[in-house]
Amino acid sequence: MRRFALATAALALLGAQTPAFVPVRPEGLTPIYGEPQKDIVQPDETLLDVAYRHRLGFESVARLNPKVKVWIPNAGTVVDLPTQYALPAAPRKGLLINVPEMRLYDFTRGGEPATYAIAIGDEMDPSLVGEFRVGAKRRHPAWTVPAAIRAEKPELPAVVPPGDDNPLGDHWMTIGNTSYGIHGTNNPWSIGRMATHGCIRLYDDQLAGLYDRVPSGTPIRLIYQTVKLGALDDGIYVEAHPDLYGREPDRVQRALLSLYDMGVGHLVDTRRLREAIAASRGVPVRVGTLPAPAPATFTTSRPAS
Q: Within 13 Å of residue 238, how many CA atoms lie on the same side as its CB?
A: 30
266 an active-site residue? no
Calculate Rg over the CA atoms of the chain: 25
Distance CA 113, CA 94 (A): 10
Assign residue 150 the CATH number of its domain. 2.40.440.10
- Give a yes or no: residue 274 inside a domain: yes
Same domain? For 97 and 180 the reply is: yes
Q: How far is CA 184 from CA 5, 61, 118, 146, in A?
A: 69, 20, 10, 18
Catalytic residue, chosen from 54, 183, 197, 241, is 183
54 an active-site residue? no
Same domain? For 236 and 216 the reply is: no
Structural domain count, the chain: 2
SS3 state of residue 123? coil
- Exposure b/e, 120-139, CB count within 10 A at least 16 = b: bbbeebbbbeeebbbbebbe
Is residue 50 within 8 Å of residue 191, measured between CB atoms? no
Distance CA 209, CA 189 (A): 20
User: Tens-digit pLDDT profile for the chain (305 aa)?
Assistant: 444 344 444 434 444 444 445 677 788 899 999 999 999 999 999 999 999 999 999 999 999 999 999 999 999 999 999 999 999 999 999 999 999 999 999 999 988 999 999 999 999 999 999 999 999 999 999 988 888 788 788 888 888 889 888 899 999 999 999 999 999 999 999 999 999 999 999 999 999 999 999 999 999 999 999 999 999 999 999 999 999 999 999 999 999 999 999 999 999 999 999 999 999 999 999 999 998 876 655 555 555 54
Closest CA to 182 of 247, 137, 151, 146: 137
pTM for the model stands at: 0.87
Closest CA to 31 of 95, 88, 83, 81: 88
What is the span of the domain harbouring residue 240?
227-289
Domain boundary at 223, 245, 263, which? 223
Catalytic residue, chosen from 171, 199, 241, 266, is 199
Is residue 193 within 8 Å of residue 58, measured between CB atoms? yes
Domain boundary at 182, 202, 223, which? 223
Distance CA 108, CA 92 (A): 9
